[in-house]
Amino acid sequence: MVRSALLGAARSDRLRHTVERLPLTRNAAARYVGGAEQSDVVRVAGELAGEGLAVTIDHLAEDVRDRARATAVAQAYVTLLEALHKAELTTDVEVSVQLSALGRALPADGPAIALENAQQICQAAADAGTTVTVDMEDHTTTDATLDVVRDLRADFPDVGAVLQAHLKRTEADCRDLAHAGSRVRLCKGAYDEPESVAYRDRGDVDRSYVRCMKVLFAGDGYPMIATHDPRLVEIAGSLAARHRREQGSYEYQMLYGIRGREQRRLVRAGERVRVYVPYGPEWYGYLVRRLAERPANLSLFLRSVASS
């Protein structure tokens, strides 16, 4: 119940405007969001890189419904990549993009506009010496997203794909994508999906995640294990050992502000760990979705709003 109330709050424009006006730095959102401005996230990325963590940065943008906004989001990525390059951070720092933020849902030619914007970002990333990963959204977009990844890889072979273990199709998708040079982020899946396409039971999702990891670790690609789940992190380590994979031939990924101690423990153990850092003025929807995953964090957030 708390989860669906929070997901409803994520869609409330009034609440969004009130909360987004609060200064991010004095607010619990700062724990999960790398800042409202580009300069904030470049600083955060530099601090994380200084601790031996790799980073992927997501420019938050919701409800992109016109072409000018989609172009502005793509441009924000281009200037971000230039700033990261200037700060000499692009060995450790890449970007993550959502095709919806690049215009996929626009009425005319949305998919073509999103592809064009993604190509522009990939070119900027290549110029800066780094990579792009294409986030996965809800199941109605899975095929279209994988098609875009395939098109992008024709020119930029190191573009990362994302697969969601809660979808029943994903083990087969892992097989298709576990080839040499293929970077694949495996996550559980953040969207509320119907039983016809997704496992709804947490145990079933976890078992699917393990089956998918087995495929990815046995293959020739580069698995990116995106989870905070301690059991799955441990199983990933065992699979890496079983397949005699060297550290650095796969990586762990976690969200900014979640299980930070574990991120640093893995780095000390010699593992490659990448932190997903979202930023931008439109941080409200992202924050509420993170709170919905773990309502225990809600009181922390409400206290910080009350004292702002």
- Is 136 annotated to bind a ligand? Reply is yes
Positions that interact with ligand FAD (CB under 6 A): 135-136, 162, 164, 187-191, 226-229, 253-255, 258-259, 276, 290, 293-294, 297
Structure tokens at 158: 């190191």
Provide long-range contacts, Cβ within 8 A and 24+ apart, for 170-177. Answer: 170/208, 170/212, 171/208, 171/211, 171/212, 171/215, 173/142, 173/146, 174/212, 174/215, 174/216, 174/219, 175/215, 175/219, 177/221
Minimum distance of ligand FAD from residue 86's CB (angstroms): 25
Q: How far is the CB of 58 from ligand FAD (least distance, A)?
A: 9
In contact, 140 and 162? CB cutoff 8 Å: no
* Candidate list 16, 183, 185, 274, residue with the active-site label: 185
Residue 290 among the catalytic residues: no
Reply yes or no on whether 185 is catalytic: yes
Identity of the residue, 156 or 252, whose beta carbon is nearer to ligand FAD in the bound complex? 252
Q: Flag whether 218 is marked binding.
A: no
Q: Is 139 annotated as a binding residue?
A: no
Nearer to ligand FAD (CB atom), residue 30 or residue 226: 226
Query: Tokens 């850092």 appear where?
Result: 277
**Closer of 111 and 257 to ligand FAD (Cβ):** 257
Closest separation between CB of residue 136 and ligand FAD, Å? 4
Alpha-carbon torsion (173, 176, 179, 181), positive or negative: negative
Is 227 annotated for ligand binding?
yes
Q: How far is the CB of 93 from ligand FAD (least distance, A)?
A: 14
Catalytic residue among 40, 58, 135, 158: 135
Q: Tell me which residues are annotated as active site.
A: 135, 185
